[in-house]
Structure 1
């Protein structure tokens, strides 16, 4: 038999979507405070929110004759017509939160408007049937007290996590909201203990102070501001540097018109912007704000309003991807701002009686990258890897040997304008892997392979933009064997791979005959490159992956650059080292290799002095 459900049961069903856990209650109530014009919000929690949630604000309050309506389902002052729903400018608008929370808790609502002589109070346990407002003592604004959450739905209460876990979720919820409203003060307390007290933030310094409080000092020092407008949209905020990439996506905040959202389209656009400067297993960090016309975004698509739908999704994607991508390409060394990593985590052994090793360890700095240097033709041949193959045609990949250079390291060090070289003057090579250089700030350590890899990658991208990577024919074609399904996948991408300088034919069910390769690629790397290009595509959906042009470009060119770059233990002359450093300074995004690893690190004089206890 079909029957109409009672209001109490309807509200409890709705609460299943709106009130998942105590953090959801806090989110809804704090957002209501902001919609009421509050400039100060206090959140008091006991027992992880299961015992008590109390929210106080200094907003405009609720009139006595509207208190009952405020606790009635689908009663709201925020919208009144379909046109209002099409242009939602508030955080809440459905009128579901308060009645849903009331249906699963013991709730008390106390409020006072600016023109009222005193406050009024209304409450109930699960419902307010027959309850009438009564006078109460309270300053201007509103206080909502939620006790014994899920007291009448024991099955829901059983699913709550530990007190610490539930409070951590509450703290994160308040922190996320605090990042969206710098003009509002937020206080959070748990079991009588002050957790944080955020004052209203004014100006850039105030906003950075709040960002530092919530996201940490390292994010502030390892991020750069962004502000880009296009087609009536504005993107602004802070983007973490590639060197600050994280193993988890735990520092990503996207706000649309002040509302924190989780949107795959926007997250995908931001991650793609980092594609060639960050390892695929890592995630970028950012706090960004997108401002769009409210009519161009639908916020009524998710029970908790954490997902939205854009009417012009492609334009939004292009704004985020394009703005961040261009920002990253303008990065260059900035010694004044860097992050620290431990140089010595353990005390060094005593080598002189009575000598005490420095405690805490010294630190190495990774320079921040910020503005673009002029892009010139890289001099890759001056430091290309030596050929090990003696097979016919090997000379086709072997670059001409550098002309005899009489310039010594001392002469290079005396070159005018050496102080304008961020990567400094090369002094020596360490174990055939790293280059040791000196600049105005101290010592620089450069990973030769990683730096050369970035130079070659950017050169290949430039060639591709100018019409395609040139192909150099092999005197003796190379036969590469692989599984038949891999050969099928590779053959399907034949025309696209030709643009990257790879020309081949199918010579058998499981064999590929390579006729030409990019000039920088060594013969011994051809087979490895082809197998790596196609291996992952067979395991995944090859068409889907190659369908994204930029992703395909990055994958192919990055593999070519990696296989062509200087190998470990290749001995370089001072002149070759200097040529590599100068090319890195002229190359976009030279601070990271194509896989997101740092290419160089700075050790300042102050850090060296601290390491050797100078000045103590």
Structure 2
């Protein structure tokens, strides 16, 4: 009888392993960059084509590989980083599992050139397609290694089809590049995408590397941290509270030079900012931890970004207290200084003048209970007669009832309840306002030539280099929508004119929403850029949840909503109102 359990073929086993290690092009970038760092390279070059789907190439000037090493490097669990299980608790390298090149080679066309001898320009080359070695030879190359990954996921069509658009995949690649290049600031990095140089980072100190990656505007936002304890040394920078954002951007933890994700540490940082930032905002930080290698466990997941501390509660307390200390030390916490406030300085002419008793002037003959008639105003209710005549009290109530309309009222400052011929209507006021504004903005923006209104003082946007790169790709569309720019380069953006439907106060929020909502991929959720902009503008400009509305505002909102082309759903396809029929109400009361 034949056995049901079979040993999987080598290529199938490698493809299964690749599912965890190589999730998208950015995963390949991470593994190759870390290998170059481990090789002792001083210069690393990353070349990308079509967001990594066509080509990912990493070139370094590191130690290189011999002929024997290059023939073993793509085999599963082949590594130069560790020798036995004890080495797992004393890791000094980024990689150690011996899975990266094996997994990458099983789902791509892999080419590796490497030379270990700096005196000779002759090295070795191997080509691996789908995990199978197809060629090996000697080639001309300088000391170092070049790894080229082409046609990623060519043999797994389902995985390739599930990749996002080029813009989204490129953002993930840039994120990985940031993580590796920030902590390895002593190494020079170059990043080329589709023949365009995005980053050219020379070796520098940590602060300078942060500024070069995220832009010059970052310099004024940084607050240094430097704490040393027996458990851990923490240094780096946090960002001032006033520069917190709604998205979790620019948040970096590095433990023993390795980027890690740790919700426990993030909570420690967040709690240190408590009371200094809005509840729905997040702080930015660039924190480096140095701890004993035997006090952490990195071997949690193949991507090696998860980590376990032996004494995580102590680390939590140290992080929280060190950030609080830095915020206090550099006077970041809000305070009122009565000695230095310009608004509280005594004018020179009053410097030596003595205070005098205030004089109150009043009319002694004035009687507040006297009722008089103003010819310019019509008095609807005679208060004196209502108190003197018992029968007139009912008349006052009648007048009040006639003056107040109960056609709509607000519930919990979030919903408007009204009625129609079908029954009771409950309306979400925020979504209703978004629908009203969306149709208004869409109409304004759909004209062939949009008008612009110049600003007296240009508005400088507080953006980092990556955010500026995103907006540069849609610059022409923004100009068509009525924006004009006095400056628009890799370092800064300055808005000089806007469409008349915008207000100056909205500009920063609008551009922030465009970035956070991935404007480059607007076609996924919108028919056109105008449609997308109308959605973003309606989101920025609508009333917030919990806003109290006056009776006239409620009625106006209801009337404007049902005058819309599609009052049923918001611009983001969420239900705006719900009708409870008289029949369903009767059922509630068993009628």
Q: How does 1:5-154 map to 2 (within 5 A)?
A: 5-114=8-117, 117=120, 118-129=122-133, 131=134, 133-154=136-157
Is the partner of 1:135 in helix, strand or coil? strand
| 8 Å Cα contact 1:19/1:100 also seen in 2 | yes
CA distance in 1, matches of 2:340, 2:234: 31
| 8 Å Cα contact 1:110/1:144 also seen in 2 | yes
**Structure 1 residue 164 displacement after superposition:** 1.7
- CA deviations 1:248-282 (Å, max 9, x no partner) are 11111110011111101111111111112122111
| 8 Å Cα contact 1:257/1:289 also seen in 2 | yes
Determine which structure has greater relative contact order: mean sequence separation of CA pairs < 8 Å that are 6+ residues apart, divided by chain length: 1
In the alignment, which residue of structure 2 is the partner of 1:183? 186
**Structure 1 residue 101 displacement after superposition:** 0.2
1:189 and 1:115, CA in 2 relative to 1: closer, same or farther beyond 3 A? closer
Q: Please say which structure displays the higher CA radius of gyration.
A: 2
Is the partner of 1:79 in helix, strand or coil? coil
- CA deviations 1:195-251 (Å, max 9, x no partner) are 1110111x4xxx333211222333321121111011141100011111111111111
| 8 Å Cα contact 1:57/1:143 also seen in 2 | yes
CA distance in 2, matches of 1:71, 1:93: 14
**Structure 1 residue 309 displacement after superposition:** 0.4
- CA deviations 1:432-489 (Å, max 9, x no partner) are xxxxx99xxxxxxxxxxxxxxxxxxxxxxxxxxxxxxxxxxxxxxxxxxxxxxxxxxx
CA distance in 1, matches of 2:119, 2:10: 31
In the alignment, which residue of structure 1 is the partner of 2:164? 161
In the alignment, which residue of structure 2 is the partner of 1:547? none
- CA deviations 1:585-615 (Å, max 9, x no partner) are xxxxxxxxxxxxxxxxxxxxxxxxxxxxxxx
Q: How does 1:17-416 map to 2 (within 5 A)?
A: 17-114=20-117, 117=120, 118-129=122-133, 131=134, 133-201=136-204, 203=205, 207-332=206-331, 369=332
CA distance in 2, matches of 1:85, 1:219: 37
TM-score by length of 1: 0.54
CA distance in 1, matches of 2:119, 2:96: 25
CA distance in 2, matches of 1:423, 1:28: 54
| 8 Å Cα contact 1:64/1:133 also seen in 2 | no
In the alignment, which residue of structure 2 is the partner of 1:610? none
In the alignment, which residue of structure 2 is the partner of 1:395? none
- CA deviations 1:557-581 (Å, max 9, x no partner) are xxxxxxxxxxxxxxxxxxxxxxxxx
**Structure 1 residue 132 displacement after superposition:** 5.7
**Structure 1 residue 116 displacement after superposition:** 6.9
| 8 Å Cα contact 2:118/2:142 also seen in 1 | no
CA distance in 1, matches of 2:146, 2:251: 31
Is the partner of 1:133 in helix, strand or coil? strand
CA distance in 2, matches of 1:209, 1:82: 38
- Which structure 2 segments of 5+ residues have no match? 349-591
Matched, 1:423 2:317: no
- CA deviations 1:366-405 (Å, max 9, x no partner) are xxx38x99xxxx9xxxxxxxxxxxxxxxxxxxxxxxxxxx
**Structure 1 residue 106 displacement after superposition:** 0.3
Is the partner of 2:132 in helix, strand or coil? coil
- CA deviations 1:531-557 (Å, max 9, x no partner) are xxxxxxxxxxxxxxxxxxxxxxxxxxx
CA distance in 2, matches of 1:326, 1:178: 28
CA distance in 2, matches of 1:44, 1:221: 32
Q: How does 1:496-575 map to 2 (within 5 A)?
A: none
TM-score by length of 2: 0.56
| 8 Å Cα contact 2:112/2:147 also seen in 1 | yes
Is the partner of 2:91 in helix, strand or coil? coil
Is the partner of 1:213 in helix, strand or coil? helix
Aligned residues: 345
CA distance in 2, matches of 1:115, 1:329: 52
| 8 Å Cα contact 1:67/1:133 also seen in 2 | no
| 8 Å Cα contact 2:118/2:143 also seen in 1 | no
CA distance in 1, matches of 2:281, 2:243: 10
CA distance in 2, matches of 1:241, 1:314: 25
Is the partner of 1:248 in helix, strand or coil? coil
CA distance in 2, matches of 1:293, 1:197: 33
In the alignment, which residue of structure 2 is the partner of 1:354? none
| 8 Å Cα contact 1:76/1:93 also seen in 2 | yes
CA distance in 1, matches of 2:339, 2:294: 50
Is the partner of 1:60 in helix, strand or coil? coil
CA distance in 1, matches of 2:26, 2:258: 16
- Which structure 1 segments of 5+ residues have no match? 333-368, 379-417, 429-436, 439-616
**Structure 1 residue 427 displacement after superposition:** 6.5
CA distance in 1, matches of 2:223, 2:291: 22
